[in-house]
Amino acid sequence: MSHRISIEKGRELTKKELEFRQMQKKGISLPVSRRQKKYELMRKKQDGFLWRLKDRIKQTGGEMPEHLKEAK
């Protein structure tokens, strides 16, 4: 059986979808979903307070970001 929604609810959902697309185009981060929040809580418990640093190191391949390098 299909999930039917009202016309108003459909308009509201499409409006929200368009807002999210505009946010992505502008480079604004989207709101975090419940699933993402649960994942972050689990990571915090497992890795302690360094979990964000660990993720950043993995993303950059172990290199120091430009804005954190000392000027010589």
Where exactly are the structural domains of the chain? 7-63
User: In the predicted model, is pLDDT for residue 4 greater than 80?
Assistant: yes
Helix (H, G, I), strand (E, B) or coil at 20: helix
Beta-carbon-side half-sphere exposure of residue 4 (alpha carbons within 13 Å):
2
Distance set, CA 69 to CA 2, 60, 64 (Å): 55, 14, 7
User: In the predicted model, is pLDDT for residue 48 greater than 90?
Assistant: no
Is residue 1 very low, low, confident or very high in pLDDT (cuts 50, 70, 90)?
low
Q: What is the pTM of this model?
A: 0.43
CB contact at 8 A, 13 and 5: yes
User: Looking at residues 11-38, what average pLDDT do you find?
Assistant: 89
